[in-house]
Amino acid sequence: MKAICVILLCAGIAVAQNPFSDDTKAAWNNVKNYILRAAEKMPEENYAFKPVPEVRTYGQILGHIADSQFSLCARAAGEKRAPAQVEKTKTTKAELTAALKEAAEFCDGVYGGMTDAKGAETLKAMGREVTRLGVLNLNTSHSNEHYGNLVTYLRIKGIVPPSSEPRK
């Protein structure tokens, strides 16, 4: 009986060793999945839609999200990466969803390899010293910000956004 309790206690400690990076990854997974599903839900003919001339099209927002995810996740990983230029070079639903999936997979690797200790390391970003987790949190919040744009565009077109779908 004592051995079982020790095993369970050790398992509990192992799960809680990286609570900050685990929470950061969970938030990322949430918005990542909403964005990927939003990209799939919008019909191809609406990728060029924008409600007013002064804003990005639906497709441009998706391209911007992919560009920023590549950039911020590379920064958090300490990698040098050439700008992806998705927003400026991709226009079709197939191209943009493929780029989003590629950006998500790249970021998944960075989030997945992050520990609290590594996440607490600082680096120069945005003109100041920030933690690696801070950069990943910026990526998640920026993605959430633009998911909000996507929600508006979807609703204008009469489409229920992924975050408003009934829970299974």
The CATH number for 112's domain is 1.20.120.450
The answer as to whether 97 is a domain residue is: yes
Amino acid at 27: A
Could you tell me what percentage of the chain is helix, strand and coil, using 3-state DSSP and rounding each to the nearest 5? 70, 5, 25
Q: How far apart are CA 36 and CA 30, in angstroms?
A: 10
Per-residue confidence (pLDDT) for residue 12, from 0 to 100:
52
Print the domain residue range for 87.
20-164
The answer as to whether 14 is a domain residue is: no
Cβ neighbours of 1 (radius 10 Å): 5
Per-residue confidence (pLDDT) for residue 126, from 0 to 100:
80
* Structural domain total, the chain: 1
The answer as to whether 134 is a domain residue is: yes
The answer as to whether 11 is a domain residue is: no
The answer as to whether 2 is a domain residue is: no
The answer as to whether 143 is a domain residue is: yes
The answer to pTM > 0.75 is yes
Reply yes or no on whether the pLDDT at 14 is more than 70: no
The answer as to whether 13 is a domain residue is: no
- Dump the DSSP string for 55-103: S--HHHHHHHHHHHHHHHHHHHHT-------HHHH--SHHHHHHHHHHH
The answer as to whether 12 is a domain residue is: no
3-class DSSP state for residue 42? coil
Average pLDDT score over residue span 32-53 = 97
In percent, the amount of the chain with pLDDT more than 70 equals: 90
In percent, the amount of the chain with pLDDT more than 90 equals: 84
